[in-house]
Amino acid sequence: MTLNVALLGAGRIGKVHAKAIEATAGAQLFGVADAMVEAADALAKAYGAKVLSIDEIEASSEVNAVIICTPTDTHSDLIERFARAGKAIFCEKPVDLSVDRVRDCLKVVEETNGVLMLGFNRRFDPHFQAVRAEIDAGRIGDVEMVQIVSRDPGAPPPSYIQSSGGIFRDMTIHDFDMARFLLGEEVETVQASASALVNPEIGKLGDFDSASIILTTASGKHCSISNSRRATYGYDQRIEVLGAKGAVSAENQRAVSIEIATADGYLRPPLHDFFMTRYTEAYAAEIAAFVAAVESGTAPSPNGQDGLKALLLAEAALKSIEEKRVVAVSEI
């Protein structure tokens, strides 16, 4: 059987997922929907798929699964709708920026026995997967402390800030999920500091561009997250896990690994400058994992609950900054 996948949203990330579907054995891009018809049309043509409306996708008995890449504020409605329609759902993070809305939406998914996978793509990065595999293999013993450095090449325009939900819900959300992926234990408390060092305009809008966060678990494990919206040397994404027997880390990635030695010293090129080139393999692997889960009838991971839990950490971080104290996740 071939899984017929419909794509909702033919934008930047939609194109990445369309390519991933086509590259996945056992799945094909069946239809594409987008408010901008030209975008849907171009993508459909490139892969021999149909241009469909959302209604048509919902009604089609041929469509087995949907990939939701539409704007954030449409996610939860679409999830509910397609859960009720019995389609397997892959949705870009977040489910919603509101915790209450996410909870309601996940209730619908649960009631409908819906299949929902959330697009925390970094879990599928081969390097981060290898780190997780070493932990699982017992190579570093019990996990004690996790360090995550996550820095964007440059800050988004202030206009984006407002719709994004702010740095914690938009950017750090990935790191919160990565922390949970690596700690192997739920986070109990959050404390954070943040400031606008890169662009004061971001600060005026009530958001931050530089943040330091500490997470702790019930057994006393820690995770430190360091975020900045500006790393001139590229897309800086490092993880390191200290355990009782050792540590394991994943280095940064660059397009080419050459080195130039001159009188100035030894120079290696900057890192990838864009999350799409940095996480090319991860995007392909997460779609392959979604297809495999749907085809085998197993529950996909990460799921809606993972999305909710990461969002709770973002809310806790915000509360911690506001109240200048350690915040228990259970307070949110």
Among 61, 257, 296, 330, indicate the residue that binds a copy of itself (CB under 8 A).
Answer: 257
Does position 331 interact with a copy of itself (CB under 8 A)? The reply is no
Min separation Cβ 324 and a copy of itself, Å: 4
Min separation Cβ 230 and a copy of itself, Å: 7
Amino acid at 237: Q
Written as six digits, the tokens of 36 are 């901008």
Q: Give the separation between CA 283 and CA 274, rounded to whole angstroms.
A: 13
Q: Give the separation between CA 8 and CA 91, rounded to whole angstroms.
A: 10
* Residues in the chain, overall count: 332
Count of beta carbons in the 10 Å neighbourhood of residue 294: 22
Q: Give the separation between CA 285 and CA 275, rounded to whole angstroms.
A: 15
Among 193, 277, 280, 301, indicate the residue that binds a copy of itself (CB under 8 A).
Answer: 193
Min separation Cβ 57 and a copy of itself, Å: 25
Q: Which residue has the tokens 């931050």?
A: 208
Does position 84 interact with a copy of itself (CB under 8 A)? The reply is no
Written as six digits, the tokens of 35 are 């408010």
Choose the stretch contacting a copy of itself; rule: CB under 8 A; options: 63-71, 81-89, 146-154, 176-184: 146-154
Among 12, 136, 324, 330, indicate the residue that binds a copy of itself (CB under 8 A).
Answer: 324
Does position 191 interact with a copy of itself (CB under 8 A)? The reply is yes
Min separation Cβ 302 and a copy of itself, Å: 21
Choose the stretch contacting a copy of itself; rule: CB under 8 A; options: 73-81, 110-118, 133-141, 301-309: 133-141
Q: Which residue has the tokens 């010293």?
A: 265
Does position 244 interact with a copy of itself (CB under 8 A)? The reply is yes
| 111 or 322: CB nearest a copy of itself | 322
Does position 326 interact with a copy of itself (CB under 8 A)? The reply is yes
SS (H, E, C) 24-45: CCCEEEEEEECCCHHHHHHHHH
Contacts of 101 (CB under 8 A, 6+ apart): 76, 95
Among 42, 205, 214, 332, indicate the residue that binds a copy of itself (CB under 8 A).
Answer: 214
Q: Give the separation between CA 221 and CA 200, rounded to whole angstroms.
A: 34
Q: How far is CA 174 from CA 65, 107, 161, 162, 165, in A?
A: 24, 23, 16, 18, 14
Q: Give the separation between CA 279 and CA 269, rounded to whole angstroms.
A: 18
Does position 107 interact with a copy of itself (CB under 8 A)? The reply is no
How many binding residues for a copy of itself (CB under 8 A)?
A: 69
Min separation Cβ 217 and a copy of itself, Å: 9
Kindly report the backbone phi and psi dihedral angles of residue 199, in degrees, each rounded to the nearest multiple of 5, phi listed first.
-145, 110
Taking CB under 8 A as the criterion, which residues in 299-318 touch a copy of itself? none
Does position 206 interact with a copy of itself (CB under 8 A)? The reply is no
Count of beta carbons in the 10 Å neighbourhood of residue 189: 18
Start-end of H helices in 60-168: 75-84, 99-111, 126-136, 158-164, 167
| 130 or 299: CB nearest a copy of itself | 130
- CA angle at residue 89 from 104 to 183, to 5 degrees? 75
Does position 123 interact with a copy of itself (CB under 8 A)? The reply is no
| 111 or 142: CB nearest a copy of itself | 142
Burial (Cβ within 10 Å: 0-12, 13-18, ≥19) of residue 186: exposed
Does position 230 interact with a copy of itself (CB under 8 A)? The reply is yes
Among 26, 86, 206, 220, indicate the residue that binds a copy of itself (CB under 8 A).
Answer: 220
Among 11, 156, 158, 269, indicate the residue that binds a copy of itself (CB under 8 A).
Answer: 269
The residues binding a copy of itself (CB under 8 A) are 126-127, 129-131, 134, 139-140, 142, 144-145, 147, 149, 151, 189, 191-193, 195-198, 210-214, 216, 219-224, 226, 228, 230-233, 242, 244-251, 253, 255-270, 324-326
